[in-house]
Amino acid sequence: MYTQTHVIMGAALGGRKPRNALAGALGGILPDVPMLLTLLVLKLAAIPDPIIFGILYWQEWWQRANAIGHNVWLWGGLLLLALWRRERLAATAEAIDRWSAIFVFALSGLLHTLIDFVTHREDAHMSFWPVSRWKFMSSVSYWDGAHHGHVFAVFEAAMGLALALLVFRRFGNGWVRAALLLAMLLYAAVPAYFIFT
């Protein structure tokens, strides 16, 4: 999935509490941060896309960065810790709220990882690293039209727009609404970039 969908999905998971919605949005974006920062640096260095996606993406350092961000052990472990702390050890309302936000953060990161697990083919991540370097090559790609990417893109855009509208209605904050409008515009801008470049 595209990063903005993971972010919107995470914010929606957070419910009506702003703290939880923010935690969910952060959990939605964090697995992609290594890739986004790498792309930013490479783009600023004027490296062309065929080199970025045809050669550099496959280098061990980039594959490991993706493996860390999309790690089932990391996100699952944090989710279990937050659940345990929230349910068993939290004695005050403040502690429960804090661990609830961490729970939403971890759930959003794990959901991101699992969705990417089933929507990546050759570009799959090592989701069980460092225990295993195995990659699941799904029959569905979120971007490759030869593997249902066009159909998935329509589904993803519809779901993302619906979730963005849901979050838009929950929060009247101008900054939140501006960020959601930007995310909705990305559903047209990201595919347009890959089509016209």
pLDDT over 80 (residue 151): yes
Spatial distance between the Cα atoms of 54 and 144, rounded to a whole number of angstroms: 15
- The whole-number pLDDT of residue 28 equals 95
For residue 84, give both structure tokens.
Answer: 């345990």
As a whole number, mean pLDDT of residues 9-25 equals 91
Higher pLDDT, 20 or 178: 20
The 3-class secondary structure across 63-97, one letter per residue, is: HHHHHHHCCHHHHHHHHHHHHHHHHHHCCCHHHHH
Confidence of residue 196 (pLDDT cuts 50, 70, 90): low
pLDDT one-digit tens code per residue, 127-150: 999 999 999 999 999 888 899 988
As a whole number, mean pLDDT of residues 60-78 equals 96
- The whole-number pLDDT of residue 84 equals 86
pTM for this model (two decimals): 0.86
Residues comprising the chain, all counted: 197
